[in-house]
Chain A
Amino acid sequence: MNCEVCQLKELEVEHFEIREVLRCILHTIVFHRALGLVRPKDVDLELFEITYVQCGDVELEKKIDERIDHFISWVEKHPNKKSQICLSFYEVKSKQPSWFTNKTERLYWEQWYVNLNVTQHPKHHSSKSHHAKVVVDPGESATEDRSSRRAMVEASLREVLFQIIKFVNEKKDHVPPISDGVIYFPYEITIPSSSDSAFGMDMIKRMLHSGHPTMLS
């Protein structure tokens, strides 16, 4: 089975917009891949005039929010960096257990890369705003600049949503069969590690092989 990959258009967002943007994108993707029985739920974004659809599954919502929180924490430690969140759907295949491998294997059949460029944000807004309800960045920039910028972000976000719909429509053959009682396919959300991805992966591999603790930045 092919693993279809979709690289979504990069979005330039401010820190306080991360949560809403990610919720919108991730839930939209999952909604299209939650092929079990769902009662769709419309959610209106607070910062933008966009309505997206959720599955209505509480557990799913919690998991996504949790991953978003982790991502925001990472962004706070790595400001002004382009970041990427990967939402992957996989199938669980059992295989012969061995000493070094598990008896199950994940076969990824679809991966979505959400590309964000988080612009610099004043530090005093970073600590709590993402935990609290979304607050409009008080900012000191001119109202016109803010509204035009907001409109651009909204238009870009809308484009990304259309991109998701287009991809979902064009690629259907690789989607596995729907299992009874399963609402959505198994998925995982990967956020960047605490360092650069390549460096982080190397460190993890080194730890596994050598067992030496390594300080990660």
Chain B
Amino acid sequence: MEMDRESGKLEQIVSQFRSKILHVILNSRVPSLHHHYQQQEPLSLSRVRKSDKWFNLVLGDRAAALENLNFSLRNLLDPMIIDIILVHHSSCSSSVDNLYTPSAAVGSPSDETVIERWVVQYDCARVNATPNGADTSSSYKKTYKKSIILLRSLFAQMRLLPAYRIFRQLSSLSQTYNFDLVYKVSSFSHPFSREEEGAMKEYIFVPVEAFPGRLCVSVTYRTSLSEFNLEPLVSLPSNIITDYVGSPTTDPIRSFPSSEKGFQATSFSIRGARPPSPSPFQRPHSWSSGFHKGLPLMQNQSLAGSPPAYRTSPKPYDVVSPQSDIYGNRIRNRLPTLQQATAYDEYQLSPPFSASASPSPPAYLSGANPVVAHHCSETAPVTIPFPLTGRNSFYLSLNSSDPSRHSLPPLSPRSSKHDASSQESPSGIRSYRKLEALRAGESPSGLSINYSAHKMVRDTKDDSGRFSGLLSSSGSPRIGFSRSSSRLSFQDDMDDCEFSCPFDVDDIDVSDSPASQNVEGKKALDFTAQSVPVGKKSQDAAVGMLVHMLRTAPPLRQDPSCYSTHSSKTVGYEGGVGTASGFFMPCKTADALEELKSYREMRDLLLSKSGTRVVRKEEM
């Protein structure tokens, strides 16, 4: 019985030893995991979790990837082989396409070199002499003590091996390299070629007796890594994403820097971790929660390198976890096979890396560790450099013309979802409040800049056609009701709002006919003259916000007097029909028809005052 108890303890020691070694090695070789460790608040030792106390070496929480790896390598008798692979990406693979289409990365040229191979094995081949009863009880204690010492020496040695320097360089936040450090954990390994062996050296840690076997750890490492010219990437020609939509939490574009890091290509370790997606940056959803975590990556990436959607949250393994399942599965599937994986598979085994900057860079060689992904969700403002194209020049001119419009309003995810996914949007009241925040100039978002750039251009060209342009771009008749006093109040508030609502109002009054455009333009001009200086973009934004608000507002009472009051407010501001009654879905068809009728009346009233009767074809 006691023997069984002892053997159980030994088995536990062996199992935990493997896990701990894996944790130590990956923390010291995988930048993302290292950043995760660094970001953890240093708790007092008394508050350390029990699982972290094994071998009296507190390493912090394990990333989910490690947990899955541990699970997949539960067989204690199988060796655990950890390959640290240096991946060199060729320069041509730094295109946007490769980022968007990870599958393309499979074929992209890259060199992979195993720079370290750690082998951890519980060797039972050599049967030790059976300890007597007195020794048995203390054997596991000695094993545990010696395991602690071995782990200490392994921990210290990891910092002395050549790969550590590369790890620190690649962990740098301030630099982006075309190299990545990835890892592969398996029970099998492809033997090194003679040439590789010649460049490597082996160090074998003294085995720790763990009856009936012993714990063996060895490392084969490349003695020199100078041949890998780890040069930081210089500015590369950027491939501008014309309809790029940034994060709503990012600051507005203050400048269009040429000295920013924004033109650096991305690290391609990220590619491997991005979930394949045909169009991952569809504009309306680019600020959705999953992608949002990855947005800070954009800071140090060129516009060509659109940000992979991860590696920015404080808990990178939140994003890693999907991959960790993949890693786990892949590892299990690969156990019976040799290292025949493709490059892409190799990437899939590695946690995602990021090369983007972080607001809080720890320093080593080149000054910063990239914790790209691990940094807090409160990321530094993104400065998205724009080339002075025709479309964007409008924004620039707007900016330059009106210094007060120095910031873009943050395009909140909710406020920006004015399209068909209105059900997901919060109430109009919240959107309105968001707009108020926008007016304050808080963290304007680059989100809308590019998005509405083409609309902005149109607006500049034809002031009169501003709203018409906006309105006509959308096919939704609902938006037509945004021309209301509510909208006007938005516009009053959003002095500096410069983003345009991507959900263009499709006002039933607005048509493509020149007459209507002239009328609309006149109204628009009037509006511009009378309203508190509102940017053209703010009006568009107001339209969108208003639409959203109206759509999500609770149904109003069917009070005609209410409509007439609102209609009077809208007079003189702008043509078109709008209603302050809100934009809601009538409960009944009759209500809807009545509502429509009231709208028509209001429209006619407005048009009549403008002196023009517009006959529009009803689409409802």
Total contacting residues, chain B, CB less than 8 A:
30
Contacts of B156 in A (CB 8 A): 28, 31-32, 52-53, 161, 164-165
Query: B159's contact among A32, A36, A38, A42, by CB below 8 Å, is which?
Result: A42
Query: Which stretch from A4-12, A81-89, A172-180 is at the chain B interface?
Result: A172-180
A32–B152 touching, CB < 8 Å: yes
A39–B155 touching, CB < 8 Å: no
A35-B149, A172-B146 in contact; A158/B58 too (CB < 8 A)? no
**For the complex, is B398 an interface residue (Cβ under 8 Å from A)?**
no
Bound complex: CA of A32 vs CA of B364, how far in Å? 24
**For the complex, is B127 an interface residue (Cβ under 8 Å from A)?**
no
Contacts of B56 in A (CB 8 A): 35-38, 178
CB distance from B545 to the nearest CB of A (A): 50
A38-B56, A169-B153 in contact; A175/B145 too (CB < 8 A)? yes
| Identity of the chain B residue whose Cβ is nearest the Cβ of A162 in the assembled complex | B160
**For the complex, is A60 an interface residue (Cβ under 8 Å from B)?**
no
Contacts of A165 in B (CB 8 A): 153, 156-157, 160
Query: Which stretch from A43-51, A95-103, A202-210 is at the chain B interface?
Result: A43-51
Query: A49's contact among B48, B157, B165, B205, by CB below 8 Å, is which?
Result: B165
| Identity of the chain A residue whose Cβ is nearest the Cβ of B60 in the assembled complex | A39
Query: B160's contact among A158, A169, A177, by CB below 8 Å, is which?
Result: A158
Bound complex: CA of A162 vs CA of B159, how far in Å? 11
Contacts of A37 in B (CB 8 A): 45, 48, 53, 56, 58
Bound complex: CA of A51 vs CA of B162, how far in Å? 12
From residue 129 to 168 of chain A, which have CB atoms closer than 8 A to chain B? 158, 161-162, 164-165, 168
Contacts of B148 in A (CB 8 A): 35, 178
A39–B45 touching, CB < 8 Å: yes
**For the complex, is B388 an interface residue (Cβ under 8 Å from A)?**
no
Total number of A-B contacts with CB less than 8 angstroms?
79
Q: Mark A75-111, 1 if CB is under 8 A from B, else 0.
A: 0000000000000000000000000000000000000
Contacts of A178 in B (CB 8 A): 56, 145, 148
CB distance from A203 to the nearest CB of B (A): 39
CB distance from A60 to the nearest CB of B (A): 14
| Identity of the chain B residue whose Cβ is nearest the Cβ of A43 in the assembled complex | B159
CB distance from B162 to the nearest CB of A (A): 11
Query: A31's contact among B53, B152, B205, B364, by CB below 8 Å, is which?
Result: B152
Contacts of A36 in B (CB 8 A): 56
A38–B160 touching, CB < 8 Å: no
Bound complex: CA of A165 vs CA of B53, how far in Å? 22
Query: B149's contact among A40, A42, A172, A177, by CB below 8 Å, is which?
Result: A172
Bound complex: CA of A107 vs CA of B48, how far in Å? 33
CB distance from B562 to the nearest CB of A (A): 66
Bound complex: CA of A145 vs CA of B543, how far in Å? 71
B57–A50 touching, CB < 8 Å: no
A161–B155 touching, CB < 8 Å: no
**For the complex, is B365 an interface residue (Cβ under 8 Å from A)?**
yes
**For the complex, is A59 an interface residue (Cβ under 8 Å from B)?**
no
CB distance from A57 to the nearest CB of B (A): 10
Contacts of B45 in A (CB 8 A): 37-39
**For the complex, is B611 an interface residue (Cβ under 8 Å from A)?**
no
**For the complex, is B150 an interface residue (Cβ under 8 Å from A)?**
yes
| Identity of the chain B residue whose Cβ is nearest the Cβ of A51 in the assembled complex | B159
Query: A53's contact among B58, B146, B159, B364, by CB below 8 Å, is which?
Result: B159
Q: Mark B103-145, 1 if CB is under 8 A from A, else 0.
A: 0000000000000000000000000000000000000010001
CB distance from A69 to the nearest CB of B (A): 25
Q: Mark B141-181, 1 if CB is under 8 A from A, else 0.
A: 10001101110110111011000110010000000000000
A51-B159, A162-B160, A169-B153 in contact; A40/B57 too (CB < 8 A)? yes
CB distance from A29 to the nearest CB of B (A): 10
Contacts of B365 in A (CB 8 A): 49
A169–B159 touching, CB < 8 Å: no
CB distance from B226 to the nearest CB of A (A): 13
Contacts of B164 in A (CB 8 A): 51
| Identity of the chain B residue whose Cβ is nearest the Cβ of A41 in the assembled complex | B42
Bound complex: CA of A195 vs CA of B312, how far in Å? 59
Bound complex: CA of A34 vs CA of B160, how far in Å? 19
CB distance from A19 to the nearest CB of B (A): 19
Bound complex: CA of A100 vs CA of B153, how far in Å? 41
From residue 335 to 374 of chain B, which have CB atoms closer than 8 A to chain A? 363-365
Contacts of B150 in A (CB 8 A): 169
**For the complex, is B206 an interface residue (Cβ under 8 Å from A)?**
yes
CB distance from B179 to the nearest CB of A (A): 18
B58–A39 touching, CB < 8 Å: yes
B149–A32 touching, CB < 8 Å: yes
CB distance from B220 to the nearest CB of A (A): 16
A35-B145, A39-B42 in contact; A170/B206 too (CB < 8 A)? yes
A32–B165 touching, CB < 8 Å: no
Contacts of A34 in B (CB 8 A): 152
Bound complex: CA of A212 vs CA of B103, how far in Å? 86
Contacts of A170 in B (CB 8 A): 206
A177–B145 touching, CB < 8 Å: yes
Q: Mark B170-210, 1 if CB is under 8 A from A, else 0.
A: 00000000000000000000000000000000000110100
B149–A175 touching, CB < 8 Å: yes
Bound complex: CA of A35 vs CA of B153, how far in Å? 11
Contacts of A50 in B (CB 8 A): 159-160
A37-B45, A44-B364 in contact; A168/B141 too (CB < 8 A)? no
| Identity of the chain A residue whose Cβ is nearest the Cβ of B28 in the assembled complex | A42
Bound complex: CA of A165 vs CA of B158, how far in Å? 11
Bound complex: CA of A35 vs CA of B59, how far in Å? 15
Bound complex: CA of A165 vs CA of B42, how far in Å? 27
Bound complex: CA of A69 vs CA of B148, how far in Å? 31
| Identity of the chain A residue whose Cβ is nearest the Cβ of B156 in the assembled complex | A53
Contacts of B153 in A (CB 8 A): 32, 165, 168-169
CB distance from B116 to the nearest CB of A (A): 16
A177–B155 touching, CB < 8 Å: no
CB distance from B21 to the nearest CB of A (A): 14
Contacts of A158 in B (CB 8 A): 160
CB distance from B409 to the nearest CB of A (A): 43
Bound complex: CA of A162 vs CA of B158, how far in Å? 11
Bound complex: CA of A178 vs CA of B363, how far in Å? 35
Contacts of B48 in A (CB 8 A): 37, 39
Bound complex: CA of A106 vs CA of B53, how far in Å? 30
Bound complex: CA of A31 vs CA of B150, how far in Å? 12
Bound complex: CA of A122 vs CA of B42, how far in Å? 42
A52–B145 touching, CB < 8 Å: no
Bound complex: CA of A14 vs CA of B148, how far in Å? 35
Which of A40, A168, A177 neighbours the largest number of chain B CB atoms within 10 Å of its CB?
A40
Bound complex: CA of A123 vs CA of B56, how far in Å? 45
| Identity of the chain A residue whose Cβ is nearest the Cβ of B363 in the assembled complex | A44
Contacts of A164 in B (CB 8 A): 156
CB distance from B188 to the nearest CB of A (A): 27
> Which 10 A-B pairs rank lowest in CB-CB distance, beginning with the nearest?
A39-B58, A51-B159, A169-B206, A37-B56, A165-B153, A172-B146, A32-B152, A53-B156, A168-B153, A35-B148
A51-B160, A172-B208 given; 20 more Cβ-contact pairs under 8 Å:
A31-B156, A32-B153, A35-B149, A37-B53, A37-B56, A37-B58, A40-B155, A42-B159, A49-B365, A51-B164, A51-B168, A161-B156, A161-B160, A165-B153, A169-B150, A169-B205, A170-B206, A172-B145, A178-B56, A178-B145
Q: Which residues on A are within 8 Å of B, measured CB to CB?
A: 28, 31-32, 34-40, 42, 44, 49-53, 158, 161-162, 164-165, 168-170, 172, 175, 177-178
* A to B CB contacts below 8 Å, 13 in the list: A35-B56, A37-B45, A38-B57, A39-B42, A40-B155, A42-B159, A50-B159, A51-B160, A51-B364, A162-B160, A168-B153, A169-B205, A177-B145
